[in-house]
A and B are shown apart, each in its own frame.
Chain A
Amino acid sequence: MKLADLTKGAGEWLRGAGPMRDVVISSRIRLARNLAGVPFLAQCGPEQQHEIEQRLRQEILDAKIANEVLYVDIASASELDRQLLVERHLISRQHATASHPRGVAVSSDETCAIMVNEEDHLRIQVLRSGLDLADAIEDIMRVDDLLEARVDYAFHGKYGYLTACPTNVGTGLRVSVMLHLPALKLTGEIEKAFRAAHDMRLAIRGLFGEGTEATGDFFQVSNQTTLGKSEEQIVREFVTEMVPQLVAYERRAREALVQRRVLAVDDKARRSLALLRASRMISADETMYLLSLVRLGVNTGRLEDVNLKTINELFLLTQPAHLQKMLDKKLESEERDEVRANFIRQRLGAD
């Protein structure tokens, strides 16, 4: 498996399946782990960081966490490859731009990725399509057990798994769920979701793009509490209380839109699709904005000839590093807009 192979598809977790897939794009769980008897990363010198990277790379590959695992040495990867991994949610932005020895191991279906030497020695993550956290927690515990059988984790009787930043200590577990909330944005009720998230002690932030309004229909909610609750409890709260409440708000807003302003919904969704099918040059932000409205049309049953998987894939494959990787060359912004428009027309079956 090579990195370039990634651009052929969108990864298992974006296939538009799983519970509540009309609103929940994907679910992610990550665990922060550190080696026992070793300083946290920031306190290690370059040599020690290199040793840790070499050792963990080998342990992860030997642990056979998946049938096929690709390990990328981030420090020696090209800027384009690093950006590609960020776009695919396989590494963090900080991991891409840092300068110390570090890497990432990715399972071939991209449902599991392990960052080595991010803020903690190990950041294990699993991704699933839709709200499928039960499966995600089972899988990540399996991977965690496989690694734990090979290395000693820093663990404290009182504080649990020790992390470089105390806000992750205890379980070291962060659940993040990516939500598509276009109807709440359109009806101006998005604050309701923010307030609900706030009351449930969830962090909520915009996703994709540079945070401009045009790309602002995607939100990520994640837990802030990592200590004093079990892993199962944190996940259970997400699955049974927190996410269903936010999803219910969005669904109600969609129903209200279709009941009261069906013509406006049809108009927005169809115009957006028509623009995507007709464009010869299109920016990433505009693409995101139009795809979001098409997705709303599909999920409210107002657009039937487009499938959710295609739309989900386009969100990912139209991002800058993906377009450049597909053509295997560096493209200026204007060239990218042309390549992007061509790619979208091809995928959406236009003229």
Chain B
Amino acid sequence: MKRECDKCGKPATVHLTEITDGEKIEKHLCEDCAAAEGITVKASLPITQLLEDFILQSAGQEDTSDLHCDVCGLTFPEFRQRGVLGCPNDYDVFSDALDPMLRQAQEGADQHVGKVPQRADSGQEKQNTMLRLRGELRQAVASENYERAAELRDRLKEMEQQ
């Protein structure tokens, strides 16, 4: 049984039965309309949408159409269209455009604080660990987990003295 979306007629993939005051209401929606109604969150953040938002927000501020990577040749408009980057160097070339987008998609973060390859130099690793601990400390304080906060403070102090 294939159903069409109540709103736009595309194939419905979200099916709901609500019972309000004893009355049964069935809803059949496509992924986009369900997401628009706040019923579901899309499977993955639509990167092209984020890019679109960014372009609109920064309209008139800076022209991104000339941005391109010398290493792989990818231009910003190409990235915008495809949603995937061409090479590691693109992260540096497009960083001004990427940062606000990342912050929007990543709960405000634009800086990695997790694992570091064993072969990356230790200065980088230490910085990241400390960044991560500071973030966790902020969270621990916010959630009134004082025991964990004290533990994290001690570890940070230790690292600072090293």
Closest to B92 in A: A156
Verify if A194 is at the interface (C-beta below 8 Å from B).
Answer: yes
Does A152 contact B119, Cβ atoms closer than 8 Å? yes
Pick 19 A–B contacts, CB within 8 A, sort by A: A43-B86, A156-B92, A158-B110, A158-B112, A160-B114, A164-B85, A165-B47, A165-B83, A166-B98, A188-B18, A190-B16, A191-B16, A198-B38, A198-B41, A205-B40, A206-B14, A224-B41, A225-B105, A229-B135
Which chain A residues border B86 with CB–CB below 8 Å? 39-40, 42-43
Interface residues of A (CB under 8 A from B): 34, 36-40, 42-43, 119, 141, 144-145, 148-149, 152-162, 164-167, 169-171, 173, 188, 190-191, 194-195, 197-198, 201-206, 211-214, 216, 224-231, 233
Q: How far is the CA of A276 from the CA of B71 in the complex (A)?
A: 59
Chain B: interface size category: 35 or more
Q: How far is the CA of A36 from the CA of B119 in the complex (A)?
A: 12
Does A165 contact B114, Cβ atoms closer than 8 Å? no
Shortest CB distance B33–A (Å): 14
Which chain B residues border A229 with CB–CB below 8 Å? 107, 109, 113-114, 135
Q: How far is the CA of A148 from the CA of B107 in the complex (A)?
A: 28
Q: In the complex where A166-B101, A166-B105 touch, is A148 in contact with B87 (Cβ < 8 A)?
A: no
Which chain A residues border B118 with CB–CB below 8 Å? 145, 148-149
Closest to A119 in B: B84
Q: In the complex where A43-B87, A152-B119, A165-B47 touch, is A231 in contact with B114 (Cβ < 8 A)?
A: yes
Verify if B102 is at the interface (C-beta below 8 Å from A).
Answer: yes
Does A43 contact B74, Cβ atoms closer than 8 Å? yes
Q: In the complex where A197-B41, A203-B42 touch, is A155 in contact with B19 (Cβ < 8 A)?
A: no
Shortest CB distance B47–A (Å): 5
Verify if B136 is at the interface (C-beta below 8 Å from A).
Answer: yes
Which chain B residues border A211 with CB–CB below 8 Å? 13
Does B40 contact A194, Cβ atoms closer than 8 Å? yes
Does A213 contact B15, Cβ atoms closer than 8 Å? yes
Verify if B43 is at the interface (C-beta below 8 Å from A).
Answer: yes
Does B106 contact A170, Cβ atoms closer than 8 Å? yes
Which chain A residues border B110 with CB–CB below 8 Å? 158-159, 227-228
Shortest CB distance A247–B (Å): 18
Which chain B residues border A141 with CB–CB below 8 Å? 115
Does B106 contact A40, Cβ atoms closer than 8 Å? no
Shortest CB distance B131–A (Å): 9
Does B112 contact A227, Cβ atoms closer than 8 Å? yes
Q: In the complex where A42-B86, A211-B13 touch, is A171 in contact with B40 (Cβ < 8 A)?
A: no
